[in-house]
Structure 1
Amino acid sequence: MKMLVVGHMHSNPQNREVFQMLMEEHEVKITYPKKWIGEFEERYFDENGFKKIKFPFTKNGYIPFLKEKDEYDLLWIDEEPYLPQTYFILKNVRYKKSILRGAQNILKRDFFRNILYDFVKKRVDLFVGVGEGSKDVLEKIFEKESKIVPLHVPDEFFLNEDKNFSKERLTLGFAGRLEESKGVFLLIEILKNFKYDFKIKIAGKGKCEKNLIEFLKSSKIEFQFLGYVDHEKMKDFYRDVDIFLNLSKDTPLWKEQQGRTIIEAMASKCVVISTKSFDIEKNYKGSAIIVDYDKDEIIKNLNALFENREKLYEISELGNRKAKKFSRFEILKIVSGIIKEYVKPFIG
């Protein structure tokens, strides 16, 4: 089978790993228009046949444009919420079957989107979401039954040895876009009121970065602020963290989905405390501490962990087991099963 995998401009490059494993059985070409550096400030790479169409009214001022000469048995558009790019891919690539994996978690409708939705619905054979939330949104938009293919955790994030939770001071961790929806102001309130001795390590950038740094500098908290960290280097971040805080808050324009930092932290044997955002409770209840978006409840759980260090080992192991269900080998099984069921019978 001849397969083309096209990632959108905000896909993490490590998403390619599962598709690279398919190369053992199929002829697979993988192409992404840009390198991910986060926060919608990506550098553009004219690579692998992509060109650039300028559109001043779009978020990035242009649309990546791909035109392929070859014909493919399967076109897989990966983690694609960006409809203009989807349109040009479907219009300019010759293929027999197509699958679109979506990470869109908000149902948006307007005149322009509805035109594109109709076009995409006719051209895509199967829609898959990264979780229950995106699956539901895809089904509402395109009125077709969808499947789930989660994003995987790269091998290097998995930690085999136990963390040392018995050390004198534990390290809290926080990573991601430093914005209100990611819980930056909630984090500040937690740090103001948590009385145990601890350190905190932070990775990320965003609109609330200044507020967070100003607070940390004015406090007596020992902190390490790393700014933006390349995804492949985040494994080192997690290995220094004992308790990882995910404090996402759903908004009308954005909702947390699979919670990639959560599953990566669990793979690295961090104990995770996470707010109940969108799919998070359904995905990780029992393997992480799931709480309301409430400062006092989070501090109460932190106190309990600092007072009972043995509980940290127990939750760490449960989280690590859960993360293994998202390894590239487990996700490969799902992808291969979908190809076997939805593609191979129809391509001869």
Structure 2
Amino acid sequence: EDSINEVMSLNKDLISRARSMGLTTKPCEDLMEVAMTSFSERLWDFAYQQAQACRGLCIEVISKKIDSLAADAKARLEPLRASGASVRPAEELIEQAKDAAGAGNASEAFQMLMEADQRILGIEDSHKKFIDISIAAESAVEVLRRIGVSTAEAERLLALADLEREKDYDSAIEFVAEALDSAKTMIDSYAPEVVGEVSSSGLQEGLEGEISIKLKNTGNVMAKEVTVELSGQLKVVDLPAVGSLRPGAEVLVKVRIIPDVSGEIPLRVNIACRRHFDGAPQSFEFDSSINAFKSGPPYKVTRAAEVTKCAYCQGRIKQGFDIVSCRCGNVLHLACAKRTGVCPVCSQKYTF
């Protein structure tokens, strides 16, 4: 009777463990119920037989579950090992779980396998982070090679990361991140720098005219696909494509515009381009201004109403002399204007 009670007590514990592992325990419970009924009816031999059968079935169910969990865990480790991940801590835990199961410590084995599962999840997550950041770092190093810059420091950090991940993935990821930052810092030090200035003359409100934009690449890398945009109180009629600018190169861009107002017109110039070796977008801007005269005739031929001075020859203009009165406010002898064909102050062209 005592032996039967001892076996049934063990069975209850086994059934409870099986339930905690998420296993179906009804077959075990059915055998346990038969054993308890037989025991109450004093059918000792049959009760003992059913109790032992219940125990054997519980152990079999739990063992199969542990074996299945261990096999699944090892299967998840294989692709990680093949890709170079450090799986040793999880493998050791799986082996310890097998040893515990073999010694009859099913609960301990199950807990170890649950811990191994969490470790594998951590390894998978860390490995993905490591691979993603390694790809980014290696791409940055390749860019440095293409532009002929030393990659020694970045490669040293990547080598340390490969050694460290066998012991600590977090430390390995930090080394790779440092390598990536080092490479990016080097890359960012190689960039185009496009500056510019605007000049104009003879612009008039409402009439088409021309301004010049001088662009220069003061950086240390070629700027490609250079484009220019203008914003201000004007309409852009024609803005030619710029193309590429080598380091130190200059280009003069002639832009046809129509000023919307007269006087000083603030102007913002936006420049966009791509870095030559990797196509990274770059943008620059600068402010300037242009002047436009009020609408009306650009010049007129008349006679001097008073004594004044010629803007071209600096000679005196007597009252009644034939003169050209320019829109900029200066006057010239008619003969000087015909001789030069342009205002020496605002560059307005004369045609007679």
Identify which of structures 1 and 2 has the higher relative contact order when contacts are C-alpha pairs closer than 8 Å and 6+ apart: 1
TM-score, normalisation: structure 1: 0.19
Q: Which has the higher strand share?
A: 2
Whichever of the two has the greater Rg, that structure is: 2
